[in-house]
Chain A
Amino acid sequence: MNRSVLIEPCCSLCTHSPGRPCPDLITCIQEGPLCHDDDTCRTLRAERLETVRRGGDGTVLFVGAGTCGRANGALHVIAKTKSYLEERSVPARLVEVGCVGFCQREVFVDLQKGDGLRLSYCDLTPDNVDEFLEAVFEKNELRNRFLYGRYGEAPGYEDVPLVADTPFFSRQTRVVLENCGLIDPASLDSALAAGAFAAAARALTTMTREEVCDMVAESGLRGRGGAGFPTGQKWKVALNTAAHQKYLICNADEGDPGAFMDRAILEGDPFRIIEGMLIAAYAIGATKAYVYCRAEYPLAIARLQGAIAQCRKAGLLGANILGSLTDLDIVIKQGAGAFVCGEETAILASIEGGRGMPRPRPPYPAVAGLHGMPTVLNNVETLANVSGILRNGPAWFRDLGLGEAAGTKVFALSGRVRNTGLVEVPVGIPLREIVYGIGGGAPEGHQIKAVQIGGPSGGCIPDEYLDVPTDYGKLQELGAMMGSGGMVVMDERSCMVDVARYFMEFIRNESCGKCTPCREGTTRMYEILTALTKRPVGEEIQRLERFRGLLHLEELAATIKETSLCGLGQSAANPVLSTLRFFRDEYEAHILEDRCPAGVCQGLRTYAIDTATCVGCMACKKVCPAGAILGERKSAHYIIVDRCLGCGACVDACPKQSITLVA
């Protein structure tokens, strides 16, 4: 555990210790000392802060080593860098930071010089890191091919663009992610130096619970987990429900395919979540809090564990926090891998030790939740917004959003788009701005077809509707939903039937199995969609079943939507309904013409042999796994379409390039 330097007294006049908490501790660290007027102390404190902000004395290398960075080899980059520095006795420190958000250009390494110069480099890999280190430490070529941008003044490097001015970042408004990738997430000092816990201290020591709730309500913050329930309103319900024990739960069971906002925040700035939880727990009167985090996020859990331990040691968690008589303990509860455990009542069941199955609402958790007690469940990103609201006021937060909307939203932009990564934008920004502006549009030579937003609960929005603002209501009108923030861009190479099938398979596997429509209905929908992606073989009845299936799809979708118990089921049909709405022609091509316009559905693909060029070498016949190719040696071969699996093995085997795809 990192030892906190900032928390140490400046002189004997400073009496703070976790056992005897000083209400002014945080302000004192960031602006102090307050209780006595001493220039030496003030200088000492300012110097400490400055050192922490720089990550230490001398040269520091900040390596983006979140899970995404590690997937790109960050740990190898770190290992290689370490041995490089050791071998050459270069006086530089290495600090692991979270993801700055531009996942595509990972691994990011920031070089921090002792004089405050901070330059950001990207595209590093274990293979090219030596070249980078050589350039920086031997040739002193700070302007090398890896240079991405600069932070701050950077004298002598004014011509290098500020990171914030680069195309990927310039359209973003970074509030929740402001520290991610910049500060050391394993160090309380780093967070304190970046201003953490000032808002919590203010709330706990100078505001009533009602005032905190009011402020959050006034800000217009809505749940960022998907449903968008007004956060302040939820808090007030819990606050106004009398009980001897109340609970706060941070929902970190991020499970939507393609969504990783919460992970990035937990890995890059865990203290922000703890501060948010501290404020929320105070606002509702909870003394016990849980972080329900999926076990598939080991790094996030480790960072959080470390952060909680440091906060406990510093007296920022535990009993009588900052002398405010507020108690809070945070426990991490790991989810065992069920998607449905992101549903709030399923989380309650899981924490209680039961099977993670949703239960009917009402009663809502804010009235009767964990162990029957008032419980507020907030998503990670929601809680990450809280400190900012308290620090800067509700008006500031409202102004962040566009139009009616308030605040920012982090999206995980992925798929067929030039720039992928985490983007934080004002709520209400048009989707087109994100996809084309920040994402840079489709890769060269391709055309964006649709954007899938909201994961398995969301829908596909076609290119022509991308001017829709990212607003809870507007997205729902298009059959999608804000969701937790997964945003998958698709171009003409994606088959919308296949996309719908993918999500339906996900749901049929992840349904908790409790209620009939979701458990049984999604399987039937999945089977119908699977049948559409395959050529009906032989009997006419199969063809009829496929037709009937299309009729059933809409009927099933309606019943599942109307009668399912929880949000998972109620929204399970959205991917199908939205693709049916906007891409009906693709469904029709699959059914009526046995054709997948995108060429994705292998079961509909088939090949033909050009009899003019076929020499009858039998190579294709040998590799065909389905026995679909007939023909004698030295005479032209042909493919029996009904037997063909569409695998394309014959194409690769043919020495004469006689076999081609039949579109």
Chain B
Amino acid sequence: MSIVINGRELQFRPGETVLQIACRAGIKIPHLCSLDWSPSPSASCRLCVVEVEGSPKLQTSCTLIASDGMVVHTHTPRILKARRTIVELMVANHPPDCLGCHRAGTCELADLARELGVRPRQYVGIKKDHPLDISSSAIWRDPNKCVLCGRCVTMCHQIQGVGAIDYIDRGFRTQVGPGFYKGINVSGCTYCGQCVRVCPTGALMEHSHVDAVVSELGDPNTVVVAQVAPAVPATLSLGRSKPPTVPVMLEHLAAALKQIGFAAVFDTAFSADVTIMEEATEFLGRLQGGGVLPMFTSCSPAWINYVELHRPDLIPHLSTCKSPQQMAGALIKEIYPKYAGLEDKRIVLVSIMPCTAKKYEAEDLGDVDYVLTTRELTTLWDRFGIDFNKFEDRLPLDPPFAEATGAARLFASTGGVMEAAVRTAASLAGAETPTAPLNEARGLDEVKCFTFDVGDTTLNLAVVNGLGQVRTLLEEGPADLHFVEVMSCPGGCAGGGGQPYGTEAADLHRRLDRIYDADAHAEVHSSHENQSVAALYEQYLGQPLGEVSHRLLHRTYTDRSSGVLANDDAQTKRGARAGAGAPH
């Protein structure tokens, strides 16, 4: 079947929209509201309108299903005029402080304005005037910069199934935010950050720690050290024309971070290996000792928030393991000063994470002082004049938290924790360590259920790819599950809320390829074979789930469900500061 767009005959598959066909053919139709992974477009921005021969009305190409023989024009004078007027209307209701905006240079509205030849100050009049919402430690909102495209709402509702933000009020006063004009801290938001990642303007942002980190780096009395999550090198490697492997990229990162003043750079994948040791042991203990099953992974902080805020009934099912970030934090703060002879210094630990929820987690559990997202790391490079994609220096990561296995690298992908855990659990249970990729756990399917034999026992396993699928698993999945991996963000940390801005699914696939490649080429594949980890247990921790590891590496959970948009105390604590609870 074929369709003619701007005189070009293009083939298409049934059910495809005109926008999809055009994008594939290199015809750029501006669009703000539609997302690659959204099942039903909201069609709210109206920028992707096209003319269809035989139809008097302009139609949105994101909702227009192609039919055989359809003739479409995408850039006629009539369309250009309409699009320009729409963007001019957005600009007329947008703060003029582009120079101080964190999205300067990456703002899609600015791009559209330039591309469509928007005349500044074409329409003048009142502008929206909403208070900033800085009520949370992870995500901030500036509703004044919002163009109400609704991408964030789509992510929060349709993809993540959380529903913390929505359109509120109506007419010109419409804004996107939590109900009753409250702060996002009481909205039930899990801080997964998927909204931030897709926001086209500066309306949503992480609570930035860049300035604080810069200030710590300039303080002679502190020793600033970093830990880097496995998704970050995989993501950054794609900025180079010949993407280096993840371990090489980590060495570039270590060199660049030390260049700007970090004293040491550790690999969070190391603590991922520790996590596996603890988690696999915990799981086997539950399995053999009649503990609560299925056990859910606890690596993803937004998932923890989801349970504590929305499904406290699942708390007994959560692994008590801290996430790799927090395990690394505890280990670095406990061991590194002694190891490096820095016991009289103040150690400041900065995590570099693909995640916004890690900011909340760090504040909640301590040990980690600052969290920079992948995006903020770019800002940090800019601040210190590092042209990172051309930065060729390499330095090894710092012991004792430098060595990591292929299993730990997989933590950055959906199914990766499961795959890593299965390898070690099999070994701990006395079976052979599997070596082939666990393909049932990999890939972007929403819920992956499969079985795995460990010796005589058949384990029922499930991998949940994104918070929105938790309900699918619980309602439609098998009843006798043993172990479930949940990663809050679709694709896992590779698609995390702290990753570079963007709406294209292709980026995610490339990152996952880098991660799988890192495992394939790793010298050691299983966490229990990590010699540094073995040494750590020998020298400090003793046994997995032992007394020391219990103190350093495990945590408890709190039922916070009553605080969701109801608890006024929580509201006043932060919301009042933000002015986000101001009555209208």
Chain A interface (Cβ within 8 Å of chain B)?
A: 338, 340, 355, 357, 359-360, 507-517, 519-524, 527, 545, 552, 555-556, 558-559, 562-565
Contact = CB atoms under 8 A, between A and B. Distances in A.
B171 A513 contact: yes
B42 A524 contact: no
A360 B49 CA distance: 13
A512 to B, nearest CB: 6
B172 A523 contact: yes
Interface in B554-582: none
Given A515-B43, A523-B93, A552-B122, 17 more contacts: A340-B170, A508-B171, A508-B172, A509-B171, A510-B171, A512-B167, A512-B170, A513-B171, A514-B167, A516-B89, A519-B174, A522-B172, A524-B89, A527-B126, A555-B81, A558-B82, A559-B86
Given A519-B172, A563-B82, A527 B46 contact: no
Contacts of B63: 360
B170 A511 contact: yes
Given A519-B148, A520-B93, A360 B45 contact: no
Given A513-B148, A515-B44, A559-B82, A360 B89 contact: no
Interface residues of B, number: 38
B451 to A, nearest CB: 33
A479 to B, nearest CB: 16
Contact of A520 (B49, B90, B150): B90
Contacts of A515: 43-46
A510 B148 CA distance: 16
Contacts of B131: none
Which has the most chain A C-beta neighbours within 10 Å: B40, B44, B60, B173? B44
8 contacts: A357-B167, A359-B40, A511-B170, A512-B170, A513-B172, A514-B44, A520-B93, A563-B46
Contacts of B81: 555, 559
B144 to A, nearest CB: 14
Contacts of B171: 507-513, 519, 523
Contact of A516 (B44, B58, B78): B44
A563 B86 contact: yes
Given A513-B148, A515-B45, A559 B85 contact: yes
Interface string B168-208: 01111110000000000000000000000000000000000
Contacts of A524: 89, 92, 123, 125
Please list the 8 inter-chain residue pairs (A to B) with the smallest Cβ-Cβ separation, ordered nearest first: A513-B174, A520-B89, A527-B125, A559-B85, A360-B43, A563-B46, A509-B171, A523-B172
A526 B57 CA distance: 25
A360 B126 contact: no
Nearest to A566: B43
Contact of A545 (B58, B90, B92, B124): B124
Given A360-B41, A527-B125, A552-B123, A512 B174 contact: yes
Given A509-B171, A524-B89, A524-B123, A516 B57 contact: no
Contacts of B93: 520, 523
Chain B contact surface mostly = loop
B60 A517 contact: no
B490 to A, nearest CB: 23
A512 B174 CA distance: 8
Which has the most chain A C-beta neighbours within 10 Å: B43, B57, B147, B171? B171
Contacts of A564: 46
Contacts of B42: 359, 514
A563 B125 contact: no
Which has the most chain B C-beta neighbours within 10 Å: A517, A520, A524? A520
A161 B125 CA distance: 59
Contacts of A558: 82
Nearest to A556: B85
B147 A565 contact: no
Given A357-B167, A508-B172, A511-B170, A516 B92 contact: no
Contacts of A523: 93, 125-126, 171-172
B167 A355 contact: yes
Contacts of B167: 355, 357, 512-514
Contacts of A556: 85, 123
A516 B45 contact: yes
A363 B63 CA distance: 10
Interface in B131-177: 147-148, 150, 166-167, 169-174
A357 B174 CA distance: 12
Contacts of B124: 545
A256 B42 CA distance: 26
Contact of B85 (A340, A509, A511, A555): A555
Nearest to B78: A562
Nearest to A354: B166
A341 to B, nearest CB: 10
A585 B230 CA distance: 70
Given A357-B167, A360-B43, A520-B90, A514 B125 contact: no
Which has the most chain B C-beta neighbours within 10 Å: A338, A512, A545? A512
Contacts of A565: 43-44, 46
Nearest to B176: A513
B57 A360 contact: no
Contact of B170 (A359, A513, A552): A513
Contact of A517 (B40, B57, B86, B92): B86
A359 B62 CA distance: 13
B168 to A, nearest CB: 8
Given A523-B172, A524-B92, A564-B46, A516 B125 contact: no
B322 to A, nearest CB: 38
A520 B170 contact: no
Contact of A355 (B86, B123, B126, B166): B166
A516 B78 CA distance: 17
Contacts of A511: 170-172, 174
A205 to B, nearest CB: 41
A508 B174 CA distance: 11
A359 B43 contact: yes
Interface in B251-299: none
A564 B89 CA distance: 13
Contacts of A522: 172
Nearest to A555: B85
A369 B92 CA distance: 36
A530 B172 CA distance: 16
Given A524-B125, A559-B85, A516 B147 contact: yes
Nearest to A514: B44
B46 A513 contact: no
Contacts of A521: 85, 89
A562 B81 CA distance: 11
B57 A562 contact: yes
A509 B125 CA distance: 15
Interface string B31-74: 00000000011111111010000000110100100000000000
B219 to A, nearest CB: 47
B280 to A, nearest CB: 43
A563 to B, nearest CB: 4
A564 B57 CA distance: 10
A583 B126 CA distance: 28
A176 B43 CA distance: 38
Nearest to A513: B174
Which has the most chain A C-beta neighbours within 10 Å: B45, B93, B122, B125? B125
Interface string B93-108: 1000000000000000
B82 A510 contact: no
Contacts of B172: 508-509, 511, 513, 519-520, 522-523
A520 B57 CA distance: 20
Contacts of A562: 49, 57-58, 78, 82
A536 to B, nearest CB: 14
Nearest to A545: B124
Contacts of B40: 359
A510 B41 CA distance: 23
Contacts of A512: 167, 170-171, 174
A524 B43 CA distance: 22
